[in-house]
Amino acid sequence: MSDSLHVVCPQCDGINRIPQAKLGSGGKCGVCHTPLFPGKPLELNRARFQRHLAKSDLPLLVDFWASWCGPCKMMAPVFTEAAGQLEPKLRLVKINSEQEQMLSGELGIRSIPTLILFNKGAETARLSGAMDLQSLLDWVRQHIT
């Protein structure tokens, strides 16, 4: 196993190599110099999502949501708080299912909010419905090895 990880910048999508031992200290992008771990979910479109999925060694936890969805609105602050607790072990991402209907269809999103955990580019877990912070953290930790 390599002792460094590829991490895609949340700002410019540049690819950065970080030693695993220094992952906890954060770091800044070598291209745009912004923090690699902002402590909040990234709002991505299809192209940016695909880049993060393909080029980053970090697991991705993706929240598929829509602005008109009541449970999605309830889940938003929980997901944001989870980002602060789970980074840098994984990247939390939000995708607006209304704006990214093709991607939502390809991934079989049938209800929202839906959380999908990806590891090494493959889906490893999926859960639909809003949840509280502790339930979300427990679910993620159960599926991250």
Q: How far is CA 96 from the centre of its chain?
A: 13
Dig out the tokens for 137 from the structure. 């953290």
Instruction: Tell me if residue 12 is catalytic.
Output: no
Instruction: Tell me if residue 72 is catalytic.
Output: yes
Asked if the peptide bond before residue 113 counts as cis, ω within 30 degrees of 0, the response is yes
Residue in 12, 29, 32, 69 annotated catalytic = 69
What one-character DSSP code corresponds to residue 36? S
21 vs 53: CA distance, rounded Å: 22
130 vs 10: CA distance, rounded Å: 25
Tell me which amino acid residue 1 is: M
66 vs 55: CA distance, rounded Å: 26
75 vs 13: CA distance, rounded Å: 26
Residue in 12, 29, 32, 72 annotated catalytic = 72
Active site residues: 69, 72
